[in-house]
Amino acid sequence: MAGRPNKLLIGDMKEFVRLITEAWSKPINLSHQIVQRVDPFTLDNVQKYEGEDWAKHRRIINPSFHLEKLKVMIPEFATSCRNMIQQWNQMIGSQESSEFDVWPQFQKLTADVISRAAFGSNYEEGKHIFHLQKELIQLTLEAMQTLYIPGFRFVPTKKNKRRRRLNTEITAMLRNVIEGKANALKTGKSRVDDLLGLLLQYCENENESSTRSIGLTIEEVIEECKAFYLAGQETTSSLLTWTVVVLAMHPDWQEKARQEVLQACQNKELDFEAITHLKTIGEISVPSGVDIILPTLLVHHDPELWGNDVDEFKPGRFSEGVSKASNNDQLAFFPFGWGPRSCIGQNFAMLEAKLALAMILPNFSFQLSPSYSHAPHTVMILQPQHGAQIILHKL
């Protein structure tokens, strides 16, 4: 039985930069033991591949997340945000303010956004697929937090059987949506206006430009669609939740952000141009099989890179970019990773988060509720363990 792999923590910045720039292997959080626990349920996509398989998937998927392609999805993003703001106004009603947990609110928002962006006209079916996948992810996380026993995922326990049924149902539904979209594109009955359409288009382009079929198979497209959920929903909802929490902790910066939005938008409908104006916010020989750890948290709090005020909440330090915020080191801040394995969906996430905040700030101010308990808790991503209770005020 394999024991825990050896790990090497990199603290030297020069080695850190070299490793993260040249890294072609999968991230450490998808190490062999984790993949063995959850395959084939959630990780059979570009995040898991290595070598030529990874290069092929990345090449085909990457164009779908270019900013030029994402611009056309802004109206869909705005529709989801507008619906959430209307719900918040209804929750407040005739009162001046109301308290509620924004964590599930942002989870619902980002699930709605990724359903619209990924599946377009098949939005409602996409919502149902992602609802099932949310349950599957929860069961998978529970499996990851238990003692690892090789082969245990094949034992017919109640949860293992439920995971298999969910995976089968999700796969069948996605296959139906994908085949329908592909046929509609071929007959001209559908436009390329969502992530699935873009992905299918680039697969077709790959096949047409080669003498052999080098695009993704339908099974591979299915797995990439599953990845849209985790990449497009959980991460962005966490980003929005913590942003609202820290802005509630620092009302002066909340007001600065609000004024920036009002100045940039000037009571007009938000578009891509308006959103882009929102700026505030060595030589070591490592044996095979050793996991290399790049300490994100330590680098982001290193006074040598950020100065003695590193622990202060100062969003203004980023107003002229990361290199000016730190000691002229672009790699001092890498929330989406860096190099070849950087997050493929970072443009999508930042565009969605900026739009949501830009629509929330002119309508509401917010403060932390006395019932809020600050307890950041990592379950794949950083979550508020006891929720994010906010008192919302209409403006």
Report the Cα 9 to chain-centroid distance in Å: 25
100 beta partners:
390
Question: Are the C-beta atoms of residues 14 and 282 closer than 8 Å to each other?
Answer: yes
**Helix 123-144 / helix 218-229 crossing angle, nearest 10 deg:** 80
**Helix 102-119 / helix 123-144 crossing angle, nearest 10 deg:** 120
Which pair of structure tokens corresponds to residue 239? 């980003």
Which pair of structure tokens corresponds to residue 240? 């929005």
Q: In angstroms, rounded to a whole number, what is the distance separating the alpha carbons of residues 36 and 151?
A: 8
Question: Which segments of 242-368 are extended strands (E)?
Answer: 291-293, 364-368
Residue 137: count other Cβ atoms within 10 Å of its Cβ: 21
Buried b vs exposed e over 99-132: b needs ≥16 C-beta within 10 Å?
A: bbbbbebbbbbbbbbbbbbbbbbbbebbeebbeb
What's the per-residue H, E or C state across 197-210? HHHHHHHHHHHHCC
For 269, residues 6+ apart whose C-beta sits below 8 A from its C-beta are: 78
Residue keyed to tokens 């570009």: 46
How far, in Å, are 160, 219, 316 from residue 224 at the CA level? 22, 9, 37
Parallel, antiparallel or unpaired: strands 381-384 and 291-293: unpaired
203 is in an annotated binding site: no
99 beta partners:
391
Q: In angstroms, rounded to a whole number, what is the distance separating the alpha carbons of residues 133 and 163?
A: 10
Burial status of residue 175 (CB atoms within 10 A of its CB: 0-12, 13-18, 19 or more) = middle
Q: List the binding residues.
A: 343
Q: List the binding residues for heme.
A: 343
